[in-house]
């Protein structure tokens, strides 16, 4: 079903129905997902095209709202609007964008932030990062894929977006049965990285070829916290990407910073960011496997006043949780010996499956097994442009633990 046909058929939308044991109350109170085992999946429902807009009814056939349906996903339906008669068109998207924009305008002086954070901003499965007059959309749910045209038009009308890109990377789209083809939805694609001012630093975002949308806005408050601790310090930034913690620390007055990452293109962008901010003389990079580099630095007798490790998601699913927690423990065990006495160790996790308690436990075990003792001085989370749905634990994915060692 195309976007155009789904809109023309809104008056005669198909109906899907909850099973009697499904938690209709949770949906009415804001939980945004219907799992496959909660929905009546008869032949008609199974035949719906991924991304179909339908009316959801409870087991007593009372309408509950409009959902985007994907019969091939474990999350078989996502609540879009609690009004069964709602039209999911450009005007509807504009309403969501205006509301999200009002919050970001209160939070930030410059137009660089996460504009739409999926369910919390009323667009389940959709992420939009803003880089001035350019926006990058990650449509991670089938319904959003079918609605890209009106969403793009809404970005143009609401934000005057000159360029809108689609980023199709990430495991979530695979779980929805979607392809990994990124592209340009409107305007000319940029031919150079975009400089992004944040926390006094300048980051270079590769919005067409970098990781995810090109920059991780979620760590902004944790970068700022670490920078306050790093005045005059020697800083080690492991899994640095484009220099997240190290460039913020240098902008805050760190004496030096070493950025470590497995990606040479990411480190090249980090060096460009350091040059743009005029801190290249205090900035070094080292390309390689993080575990191996940490071991090598210890063998070299290196020591740092602040060490930050911000790895990718080691536990992206429940099946990967045990292995992921072992990896987080190993990172802590390798990083702790590099921290000078009374220095700071920052450990981060962006794993949905590893909750705060499990991650904190793994980190503490790793520090202890390194023969160090530490106190936890601060726990950080994603910034306010990444709001959370209180009923959806997965929306609170980012954790940052800062220890004094």
Q: How far apart are CA 215 and CA 243, in angstroms?
A: 10
DSSP for 140-175, written as a single string = -SHHHHHTHHHHHHHHHHHH--SEEEE---SHHHHH
Q: Are residues 103 and 123 in contact, defined by beta-carbon separation less than 8 angstroms?
A: no
Pairing of strands 339-349, 15-17: unpaired
Q: Are residues 258 and 286 in contact, defined by beta-carbon separation less than 8 angstroms?
A: yes
Contacts within 8 Å (CB) and 24+ apart, 357-363: 358/321, 358/325, 359/325, 359/328, 359/399, 359/401, 360/399, 360/401, 361/325, 362/325, 362/326, 362/328, 362/329, 362/332, 363/328, 363/329, 363/332, 363/401, 363/403
Q: Is 109 exposed, middle or buried (0-12, 13-18, 19+ CB in 10 A)?
A: exposed
Q: How far apart are CA 234 and CA 250, in angstroms?
A: 10
- 147 noted as active-site residue: no
Give the alpha-carbon dihedral of 397, 243, 211, 339, to 10 degrees: -50
Angle among Cα 364, 369, 370 to the nearest 5 degrees reads 100
Q: Are residues 159 and 153 in contact, defined by beta-carbon separation less than 8 angstroms?
A: no
- Reduced to 3 states (helix: H, G, I; strand: E, B; else coil), residue 347 is strand
Count of residues making up the chain: 405
Which is the catalytic residue, given 147, 309, 348, 350? 350
**Catalytic site positions:** 350
């Amino acid at each position: 079903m195309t976007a155009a046909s789904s809109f023309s058929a809104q008056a005669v939308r198909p109906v899907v129905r909850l099973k009697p044991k499904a938690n209709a109350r949770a949906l009415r109170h804001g939980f945004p997902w219907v799992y496959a085992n909660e929905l009546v999946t008869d032949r008609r429902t199974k035949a719906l095209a991924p991304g179909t807009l339908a009316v959801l009814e409870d087991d007593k056939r009372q309408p509950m709202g409009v959902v985007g349906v994907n019969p091939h996903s474990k999350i078989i339906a996502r609540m879009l609007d609690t009004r069964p008669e709602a039209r999911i068109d450009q005007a509807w998207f504009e309403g969501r964008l205006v509301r999200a924009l009002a919050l970001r305008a209160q939070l930030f002086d410059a137009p660089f932030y996460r504009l739409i954070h999926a369910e919390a901003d009323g667009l389940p499965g959709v992420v939009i990062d803003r880089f001035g007059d350019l926006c990058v959309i990650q449509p991670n749910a089938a319904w959003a894929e079918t609605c890209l045209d009106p969403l793009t038009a809404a970005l143009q009308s609401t934000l005057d977006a000159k360029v809108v890109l689609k980023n199709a990377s990430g495991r979530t789209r695979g779980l929805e049965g979607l392809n990994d083809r990124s592209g340009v939805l409107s305007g000319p694609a940029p031919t150079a990285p975009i400089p992004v001012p944040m926390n006094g630093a300048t980051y270079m975002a590769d919005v067409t070829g970098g990781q995810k949308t090109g920059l991780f806005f979620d760590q902004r408050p944790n970068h700022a916290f670490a920078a306050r601790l790093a005045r005059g310090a020697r800083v080690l930034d492991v899994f640095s990407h484009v220099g997240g913690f190290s460039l913020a620390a240098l902008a805050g007055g760190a004496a030096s910073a070493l950025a470590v990452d497995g990606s040479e293109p990411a480190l090249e962008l980090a060096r460009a960011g350091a040059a743009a901010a005029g801190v290249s003389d205090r900035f070094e990079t080292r390309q390689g496997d993080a575990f191996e580099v940490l071991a090598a630095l210890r063998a070299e007798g290196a020591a740092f006043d602040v060490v930050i490790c911000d790895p990718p998601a080691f536990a992206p699913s429940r099946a990967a949780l045990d292995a992921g927690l072992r990896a987080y423990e190993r990172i802590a065990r390798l990083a702790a010996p590099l921290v000078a006495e009374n220095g700071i160790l920052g450990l981060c996790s962006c794993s949905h499956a590893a909750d705060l308690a499990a991650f904190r436990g793994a980190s503490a075990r790793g520090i202890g097994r390194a023969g160090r003792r530490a106190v936890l001085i601060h726990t950080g989370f994603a910034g306010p442009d990444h709001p959370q749905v209180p009923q959806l634990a997965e929306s609170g994915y980012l954790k940052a633990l800062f220890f004094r060692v």
